[in-house]
Amino acid sequence: MKQRPTFPARLDTTLAMNRPNAVGKPAPTTHATPTKLPNAPATAAAPSRIKAAQQPTPQPGHGMDSSAVRHRMVHKLAAQGISDAQVLGAMGAIERHRFVDSALVNQAYEDTSLPIGLGQTISKPGVVSRMLELLLQAQLGNPAKLGRVLEIGTGCGYQAAVLSLLATEVYSIERLRGLHDKARDNLRPLRLANLHLLFGDGMVGYAKGAPYAGIIAAAGGEAVPQAWVDQLAVGGRLVAPVVTAGAPGSQALLVLDKTAQGVRQTILEAVHFVPLKSGVA
């Protein structure tokens, strides 16, 4: 009889260990409400050891070997032009199926956005990897890993998890309490000690973690809030969808680099993100 392997019960330890230790910053306490995730083992490992868990334990209910499907997804991302090995490694390591409802698990590795509740969506892997690659490109000439990053729009926590493998510290803000809680539940088993979940309005950024080497938004507004630019470090990069002048509601990716001389903005391809909203709910 055909065995039906399924997803590993937890993240491979080589992955969980493949991050620098926390920098010892005190946990943020005001404005947005931080959620403490449990600490991961504090042992360093070489970057080349990023890999997905490869020994699924048999468990009834899922007819999919997630590591093989995820590798296919990574190959497709590479074929679409994503070339950053760190980004591809992180996309191959984080199990996207853990972040979607069980009814959608079979679509988890397709290049499609999927509903995560409260009218929001998990972003397409193609767009997540594209934005992360753009964020990392700002580090050219500086081979060290990305420093502190602010993410606006935690959603189900998927992109935050990928980001946590690429940056030293990640602060991720969500304005909907239900999704903030869902992300915390989704992320708990991954034990990503450098990922800090915050409940609050990301339009005002998160000044306590500033300055950021990178800021990434998963929701698109009419303009980039000034607070984000203010909280970006000189030499840092912001990647966000913004509403463009074209068809109503049309959006494009904006890359904003902050230099000692000022900001440089570049508009890239069209994208479709949920709207950036103010306040919490």
108 near ligand SAH (CB under 6 A): no
Q: Tell me which DSSP letter residue 143 carries.
A: -
Instruction: Determine the Cα–Cα distance for residues 106 and 109; give it in Å rounded to an integer.
Output: 7
DSSP assignment letter at 193? T
> Quick one: which of 173, 190, 253, 271 contacts ligand SAH (CB under 6 A)?
173
Q: Which is nearer to ligand SAH, 259 or 278 (CB)?
A: 278
Q: Which listed residue (123, 129, 164, 172) is catalytic?
A: 123
- 123 given a catalytic annotation: yes
Q: What's the closest the beta carbon of residue 173 comes to ligand SAH, in angstroms?
A: 5
Give whole-number Cα distances, 31 to 109, 116, 179, 203, 208, in Å. 35, 25, 18, 12, 9
Helix (H, G, I), strand (E, B) or coil at 138: coil
Looking at beta carbons only, is 56 or 153 nearer to ligand SAH?
Answer: 153
What 3-state DSSP class applies to 167?
strand
Indicate the SS3 state at residue 103: helix
- Give residues 174-213 in contact with ligand SAH (rule: CB under 6 A): 174-176, 179, 201-203
Q: What is the C-alpha separation between 136 and 131, in angstroms, rounded?
A: 9
Q: Is 153 in the site for ligand SAH (CB under 6 A)?
A: yes
Q: Looking at this protein, which amino acid is placed at residue 249?
A: G
Q: Which of 109, 158, 212, 228 binds ligand SAH (CB under 6 A)?
A: 158
Q: Residues 111-150: x/- map of binding to ligand SAH (CB under 6 A)?
A: -----x---xxxx---------------------------
Min dist. Cβ of residue 101 to ligand SAH (A): 12
Decide if 91 contacts 162 (C-beta within 8 A). Answer: yes
Which span sits near ligand SAH by CB under 6 A: 67-75, 103-111, 173-181, 243-251? 173-181
Query: What single-letter DSSP state applies at residue 190?
Result: G
Residue 169: beta bridge partners? 148
Distance between CA 182 and CA 186 in Å, rounded?
6
User: Residues 219, 232, 238, 239: which binds ligand SAH (CB under 6 A)?
Assistant: 219
274 binds ligand SAH (CB under 6 A): yes
Where do contacts with ligand SAH occur on this chain (CB under 6 A)?
A: 116, 120-123, 152-153, 155-156, 158-159, 173-176, 179, 201-203, 218-219, 274, 276-278
Task: Give the residue numbers marked as catalytic.
Answer: 123
